[in-house]
Structure 1
Amino acid sequence: MSGTHVIDTALIVTAHPVENSLSHTLAARIAARLREQGTQVEIADLHAEAFTPAMQRADLALYHGDASALPADILREQQRVERADMLVFVFPVYWWSVPGLLKGWFDRVLTLNWAYKVAEDGRIVGNLRDVPVRLIATGGSDLTGFDKHGYSTAIHTQLVEGVFGFCGLKNVRLDILYQADTASSEQIDDFLHNLESVM
């Protein structure tokens, strides 16, 4: 976790309901490694904080141009993102995508005129500060299973391009710990070790 850029602050977002899950274990170990390097780490545990993922009336009003409609919980999440020099998302893969809780975080937090805007010529322009984004996923299948029906490409397209690229973030990397349900401690250690060069 020693990239060429200086990371003063990192935001780690988790979306798993079980405190001792592999997702939380990975998040805690990544946080510890970053802290060893002097990085200040904030963890947003969306389950523990009872984040509401469903779009609200105020969210839609905001999308339609009512800037006064920004909900307090979304302002808090946006401020967390603004403070961070790196964004790390740690989550299990559900049905070849992110859990509904994290999808709802994307839906509600990445708002029009904050995460992206419409230019005068009608183009969509990313609006976020271009900080590194690391997507750390755990998957029950192996790489062959992900590739078999194009799921690896689909996840990459959805997240790397469709969410973060849309918001102007270019340094985005997706790493999946495959066969996570049966991964040994050595396999988990190897996975984390391989992440160090890109964190």
Structure 2
Amino acid sequence: MKILTVVSHPRVNSLTFSVADRFTQGLSDAGHETEILDLHRNGFNPVLWEADEPVWSSDRKIYSPEVEAEIERMKNHDALAYIFPVWWYSLPAMLKGYIDRVWNNGFAYGSNKLNHRQVLWLGLAADSKAHMEKRQYEQMMNQQLNIAIASYCGILNSRVEILYDTLDSRPEIHERLLTQAYQLGLYYDNYTKTVTL
């Protein structure tokens, strides 16, 4: 399977990029092909301007060259993975802007839907699992990413995975998180979940 792995973090020496490296190593060891899209180093502009605003009266408009290039990149892959820090219990602005601009009307929803087999949303949270569950933040993220975004755009096999306690500097915690990331890559296509609306 060809999997587009999109990474969103301003620092390349972050845990997010270490997780991305281990995840893609798992994909490779499982026999998958992957392309890594580093939104920051790629210079992606997350701000949606008029050229990329949906036109509801048209089945298919021509978007800006940057967005058209990213649409073509997505079309060249069978499945998707997004790796990001959990900020304000949601996606970072860079990744949200990418979704706003690229998962656009006429390509991802509206007259067309995405035909990717599955999507993994891999978030890194400084918070503990217990705290996120207590306030239903993980449930909120599942609802937003699996249903409001992925399912709405035609991807019914959507999964949110959260790596917790990412600010814990103990080596054993760090290694546990990297091992989890590797396992998610290695067994990427062994997980099937149909989103129910």
Q: TM-score, normalised by structure 1?
A: 0.85
Change (3 A) 1:32 1:104: same
Matches of 1:112 and 1:167, distance apart in 2: 9
Match of 1:4 in 2: none
**Contact 1:160–1:172 (8 Å) recurs in 2:** yes
Deviates more, 1:92-101 or 1:141-150: 141-150
Query: Secondary structure at the residue paired with 1:182?
Result: coil
What's the % identity of the aligned pairs? 29
Query: Secondary structure at the residue paired with 1:180?
Result: coil
Match of 1:140 in 2: 126
Gaps of 5+ in 2: 190-197
Match of 1:78 in 2: 71
**Contact 1:140–1:180 (8 Å) recurs in 2:** yes
Query: Secondary structure at the residue paired with 1:128?
Result: coil
**Contact 2:52–2:101 (8 Å) recurs in 1:** yes
Match of 2:194 in 1: none
Match of 1:176 in 2: 162
- Give 1:68 deviation, angstroms: 4.7
- After superposition, the C-alpha distances for 1:102-123 in whole angstroms (9 at most, x for unaligned) are 00011000111110115xxxxx
Matches of 2:48 and 2:99, distance apart in 1: 10
Report how many residues are paired: 185
Match of 1:59 in 2: 52
Match of 1:161 in 2: 147
1:188 aligns with 2:181: no
Change (3 A) 1:137 1:34: same
Gaps of 5+ in 1: 1-6, 119-125
Aligned counterpart for 2:9 among listed residues 12, 16, 35? 16
Query: Which structure exhibits the higher relative contact order, with contacts defined as CA atoms closer than 8 Å and separated by 6 or more residues?
Result: 2
Please give the root-mean-square deviation of Cα atoms over the aligned residues, in Å.
1.9
Aligned counterpart for 1:26 among listed residues 14, 19, 23? 19
